[in-house]
Amino acid sequence: MGAAQAAGALTATVANAGEPVPAQRTLHRWGMAIDLDRCTRCQACVVACAAENNVPPLGSEKAVLTRPIHWMEILVPDAESSAVTELGREPFPVPCMHCDRPECVKVCPVGATQRSDDGIVSQIWDRCIGCRYCMVACPYSRRYFNWTAPAWPGGDPSSANPDVALRPAGVVEKCTLCHHRIRTVVEHARLDGESVTDEVVRWLPACASACPPHAITFGDLADPHSELAALARDARAVRLLDRLGTEPKVFYLRTRR
Amino acid sequence: MAKLGRRGFLGAAGALAGAAACRTSRPSQESQDPYAATKTAVPLERGTRPGEERWVLTTCGLCRAGCGLRVRVADGRAVKVEGNPESPVNRGGVCARGQAGLQLLYHPDRVRAPRRRVGQRGENRWQEIPWDEAIADLAAELAKVRSAGEPQSLVLLDGEYAGATHALWTRFMAAFGSPNHVGHGCGGRTQITQAVRRLTGAVGVPSYDFEHSACVFLVGTGALESSPQAIGLARAMGRTPRPHVFCASSRLPRMATFVDVWMDVAPGTATALLLGLAHVLVRDNLADLAALQTAVGFLPSIDASGKPAGLRARLLAEFSPGSVASLTGVSAERIERAAHGLAVQRPSVVSADEDLVDLGAAGAAILVNTLLGSLNVAGGMRLDRGDAFAFPALQPDAAASAGLAAPPLDGRKGSDFTDARLLALPQAMLSAKPYAAKVLLQTYSNPVYSKPDGKIWREAFAKVPFVVSFSPFVDESTAFADLVLPDHTFFERWDVVETGASLALRQPVVRPIANTLATGEVVLRMARVLGGTIARAFPWNTMREAAVAGLSAATAARPSLLDDLQSQGAAARARDAKPAVVVDVRSISWVPLSAPSDSVRFPFALVPFRGPGYAEGGLRQMAWLAELPAVMNPWGQRIEISFDDARRLGIEHGDDVVVESSFGMLPAQAQVSTTVRPGVLGLPLGREDAMGVLGSLVDEASGHWLASATRAQIRKVA
C-alpha cells in the first residue's frame, strides 16, 4: 500500500496480460449517508470497522493513558450541556467526513494525507511524521495518533485483514471509507467492462455491511441517480459543521423531534 | 458483478483481494524507537497457500439468537465476520458482539489441550494429558458412581438450551440415569420457556416478529443492549414506518434513542404494570374476544367461598391504573395511554424475555399478548416448537431407571429441564440432601462468576469429589475443576442450531487452533467407553452423524433440508399458519415484595443489567467490546445513578464511589444519567466483582432469581 494507491493510479498488473483492459475510468465521488431514524446505536459499525481495518485495542493497561482508536466512533453529547450539535443531544456515529475541502490536508507538511480524485481523504502511514497538525485541524476530531505500538491480545494479530497495513507507533490513522474494498470492486468492474452500480457498492464499507437496520448507505455522489445522491438531497439531510465550508461527504438523515 | 446481490459481492471479489493481499510488517513489542518494526509476517496456517481465500457460512454462537454469518478466511485464518443475507434471523446484519467473535477464537488465554489438576483446587496448576486419557478418566469416574448404584449423583450444568450438543447431553443424562440436568440460566431463558409452558403448553423459546409489528412494548432493557431480541429489534428499526417502542424499566441505556416512551417503572413491579395494561384492555373492550373465551381461568367463576374467581375478576378488581400507578410509580394516565397504544397500533407485541426479568412478568407478557390477539401472528409473539432434534426412543436400563426416579437435587417441581432451580443447587450440594453430588460437569456455564453469591458456588464445588469443565477458558468455575476438556469455540465446530424461525448450520470455519474437541464428540466417545446400554444409545461415530440422525424427522418432511443448510447456512422452519393456542392463565399472580427491612441503611435498589459487551467466561476479555466508544471506564466497574440522587449526595460524573449492600462492597466510577429512575443504581454486569454485591434472593414459588431485589447504598470515596 502507499503512494501509488493513494494517488489513485491503478496499474494493470492484476489483469491477464493478453486480455484487453478497458482504459477509461469513470470518476467517482464516494460518500455516505447515516440515517439516524434507523440507527439503534448498537455500535456494530464500530467493531466491524476495527475488525476490517486492523484497529488495535488498547488493552486494560494502556486504556488509562490514552483514548482508544475508533475510525468509526459514537459521539455522546453531554445530556446536561447547553451546547447542541446539528443532531441534537442524541449519540451519533461518526466516521471521517471525507471533506471535499479537507482542513487536514492543508496543514500536513509532508503530503501524508491527500484528497484523492475519487473523494477519499487518505492517510499514508509511511509518510506520516507524527506532527499531529492534522488532528488539530480536523474540526470533527476524526484522526487518531498511535501513541504506542499496537498491542494485540497474545501479541499476534491472527485475525488481521491482509488487505490493510498495520500501523506502527508514531503515526496518525483514520477512516479510509474501506478504500481497499472500493478498489477491489472498481477494478473488478473495470476488468469485466461493467460499470459500478449502486447495487454493488451499497454495502461496501465494513460499517455499512454490518449495520443491522441498514442505516448506513454508501454510494457515489458523482452519480445524480444514485441512492446516496437522492438521500443527500433529502429534506432530512444535514451535514456536521456545514458552516465551516469543509464540504463533508457524510450526510446525516434525521427527523426533528 | 451485476448479478451479485446485496452484500454478495465480497465473496466473488475475494479472489482478487487475495491475489492483491500483502502481509505487511508487524511492529515489534513496545520499544524505545517508535518506528522500530520487525519485518516478520504472520505465519501461514499449515495446508494453505499464500493468498488463498474463501468465505465460509456458519452460525454465531455468542448468544442464542443464532445469526447467520459469512466468515472470510485468508491464509487459513478467519479474518472478518459478515452477516449472511440468507439468514432469516439477521438478514446480513451482525451486532458488535458477533463482529468481535474473532477475538474469542484467537484469544491468548484459551485452554490449548485437555488438562488434569495437579495442585490444590483453584491453585491453577495443571498437567496436559492426551484426549484418550482424559475421556477415560471421566468415564472411569462416571462408571464408579453408576456401579455404586447412584447414577443420580451426576450433575450437569448446561448453558446451552438447544442444538445438537444439548440434545446429545439430554440423551446422555437419560441413558446414564440422572435427573440432574440443570440449565445454567437462572434467568430469562428458563423463565420465558417456563412461562410459555405453564400458560400454553408449548415447548421452546418464543420469538418476536418485531419487523412486522406496529407497536412494541419491551420489559427490561435486554432487547436494547444484549439479549437475542436485539438483532430483530434493530432490523425492525430499519423499516419504514418503524414500530412505536415502549420500554418499561428502571433505567434506560443512553444509546436507546429509538425508545419512544420510557416507562420508568419501580424495580420489581413490571408484572403489576403489565397486569395494569391487561386491566385497561379488558375494561375498555379492546381485548381479543376469542382469546378471552377460550382462556382457561380467565372468565368469572365462583370459588369455594362463593366469591368470584378467575383472572378477569381479579384484574378488574385489583389492577386498575390507579392502584398500579401507586405500585409502579408510573402514572395512571401513562398506563392508559400505553394500553391504548398497544390496542390501536396493531399488530403489537409485548416482550418480557430477558435473563433479568422475573417469571411473573414473563407470564403477564404472554397474557397481554393473548389479549391483543398477538400470539402466532405476523408482528406478534411466536411460540416456536423447540423439537427439531428427535432421537429414536431410548430404553434406559434398570440402573438408569432407578436413578431417574430419584428426586432432582435442585428440588424442581416438574421433571423438565426448564423447571430447573439452579440457585437451589449449591445449597443441596453443600447439605448433601437428598443425596450427595459426586460428579459435576459444567458446559457453557460459569456459575462462580455469573451467578449471585459466587462464594456459595465455590464452597459447593469443594464438596463435589470430581468436577469437570468443558470451557475453552480457565474461567472462575473452571479454576475449581479436576479435569478440563476444552471445547472448540463455535468457529471450530459442527452443530445444528435451532433458532425461533429457522434451523441453522454451524460448521468449522478454520481448523481448531488448539488441541480441543467439540463437547458433543466427547459425549459420544464417553458413551462408547462406558459401554452397555449407554453405548448402544449413541450408535453414531461423529457429532455430524448424530445430528443428521436427530434431524431425521425434519428431513423426512423436507428432503432438501441438509442441502439447504449447507448452501444457505440456514433454512426457515415449517410453521403452521396459525396454530390455535389455548392459554391457561391460572398461574398468573402478583404479590409485591415485602418492604425492604433495612431501607434506611440501604436506600437504593440495585438493578443489574447487561451492556452490549456482556457475556460470560472469556468473552468479557474481548477488547473490542470492552472499549466500545461510549463505555465509560472501559476496563473498570461503573455504576449508573440518577442526576437527582447524584446531586443530593454530592456525586459528580466520573467520581470514584463505593457501592455497598449487605452482601458486599464494590468500588466503581459514577455515571450520572438522566435516564435512571431516582432511588435506583444501575449495575452493569460483566466485570469481576459485580456479582459480589448482589444477593441470591429467590422467588420461592418459581425458584427464580429476583435480580432487582438487592438493596444498596452508595458513597463517594474521599
What's the CATH number for A3-8+27-253? Answer: 3.30.70.20
Q: Which residue of A has its CA nearest to B36?
A: A168
Whether the pLDDT of residue A10 is over 80: the answer is no
Of A29-43, B90-104, B294-308, B682-696, which range is least confident? B294-308
Amino acid at B590: W
Query: Nearest CA to B483 among B471, B472, B467?
Result: B467
- Phi/psi at B454 (nearest 5 deg)? -60, -25
| Grid cell of B397 as nine digits | 436400563
Helix (H, G, I), strand (E, B) or coil at A27: coil
- What pLDDT does residue B544 have? 85
Nearest CA to A45 out of B57, B99, B258, B237 is that of: B99
Mean pLDDT, rounded, of chain B: 84
Q: Do A158 and B106 touch (CB under 8 A)?
A: yes
Contacts of B31 in chain A (CB under 8 A): 149
- pLDDT at residue B481, rounded to an integer: 94
Percentage of residues of chain B with pLDDT beyond 90: 45
The answer to whether B624 contacts A50, with C-beta atoms less than 8 Å apart, is yes
B106 to chain A: closest CA residue:
A158
The model's confidence at residue A229, banded by pLDDT at 50, 70 and 90, is very high
The residues of chain B that CATH labels 2.20.25.90 are 9-105
Average pLDDT over residues B404-432: 86
- Is the predicted pLDDT of residue A89 greater than 70, yes or no? yes
pLDDT at B334 over 70: yes
Select from A79, A200, A215 the Cβ nearest to the Cβ of B9.
A200
Flag if B99 and A63 touch (Cβ within 8 Å): no
pLDDT value of residue B250: 94
How many angstroms away from the CA of B624 is the closest CA of chain A?
A: 6
- Choose the closest CB to B79 out of A43, A159, A188: A159
Q: Catalogue the E-assigned strands of B270-380.
A: 301-302, 308-309, 348-351
Residue A167's contacts (CB-CB under 8 Å, 6 or more residues apart) are A54, A125, A146, A150, A173, B27
Q: pLDDT for B151-210, tens place per residue?
A: 999 999 988 877 888 889 999 999 999 999 988 764 446 678 888 888 888 877 788 999
Q: Which among B37, B255, B634 is the nearest to A63, CB-wise?
A: B634
| CATH number attached to the domain at B115-188+388-490+514-562 | 3.40.50.740
Nearest CA in chain A to B28: A149
Between A103 and A90, whose confidence is greater?
Answer: A103
Answer whether residue A5 shows pLDDT above 50.
Answer: no
Alpha-carbon gap: A213 to the closest alpha carbon of chain B (Å): 4
Hey, are the CB atoms on B629 and A75 less than 8 Å from each other?
yes
pLDDT in tens, B667-685: 999 999 989 999 999 998 8
**pLDDT tens, B284-299?**
999 887 777 778 888 7
The topology under which CATH files domain B9-105 is N-terminal domain of TfIIb (2.20.25)
Q: B452-471: per-residue pLDDT in tens?
A: 877 888 899 999 999 999 99
Predicted local distance difference test score (pLDDT) of residue B428: 92
Q: Which residues pair with B46 in a beta bridge?
A: none
Alpha-carbon distance of B74 to A52, in angstroms, equals: 13
Rounded to the nearest angstrom, the minimum Cα separation between B214 and chain A is 15
Cα separation, B427 vs B342, whole angstroms: 43
Residue spans of beta strands (DSSP E) within B287-393: 301-302, 308-309, 348-351, 381-383
CB contact under 8 A, B27 and A80: no
At A197 the pLDDT is: 87
How far is the C-alpha of B410 from the C-alpha of B426, rounded, in Å? Answer: 8
Using the predicted structure, report yes or no on whether residue B268 has a pLDDT greater than 70.
yes
Interface confidence: ipTM more than 0.85: yes
Chain B residues close to A185, C-beta within 8 Å: 1, 9, 13
Question: What percent of chain B shows pLDDT beyond 70?
Answer: 88
pLDDT of residue B344 exceeding 60, the answer is yes
* 8 A C-beta contact, residue A181 and residue A205: yes
**SS3 call for A219:** strand
Residues of chain B with CATH 2.40.40.20: 604-716
Residue B52 burial (10 A CB sphere; 0-12, 13-18, 19+): middle
- Give chain A positions within 8 Å (CB) of B94: 44, 48, 210, 212
Q: How far is CA B277 from CA B266, B312, B593, in A?
A: 16, 13, 20
CA nearest B30 in A: which residue? A149
Look at the domain B206-383 and name its fold.
Answer: Dimethylsulfoxide Reductase; domain 2 (3.40.228)
- Tell which of A43, A76, A127 to mutate to test the B interface (max B CBs under 10 Å): A43
Q: Do B242 and A38 touch (CB under 8 A)?
A: yes
Full-model pTM: 0.89
Rounded average pLDDT over B330-351 = 95
Place of cell 441503611: B601
The beta-carbon neighbor of A213 closest among B1, B22, B237 is B237
By Cβ distance, the residue of A162, A169, A187 closest to B27 is A169
- In CATH, which of 2.40.50.140, 2.30.30.90, 2.40.40.20, 3.30.56.10 is domain B604-716? 2.40.40.20
Q: Find the closest chain A residue to B40 by CA distance.
A: A156
Q: Which pLDDT does position B307 carry in this prediction?
A: 66
Of B105, B236, B629, the CB nearest to A43: B629
Element (H, E) at B506: strand B502-506
Strand partners, B676: B251
Q: Residue B612: what pLDDT?
A: 77
Q: Under an 8 A CB cutoff, do B27 and A184 touch? A: no
Question: Do B624 and A158 count as a contact with CB atoms less than 8 A apart?
Answer: no
Contact B257 A91 (CB under 8 A): yes
Integer CA distances (angstroms), B182 to B45, B416, B421, B684, in order: 39, 9, 8, 26
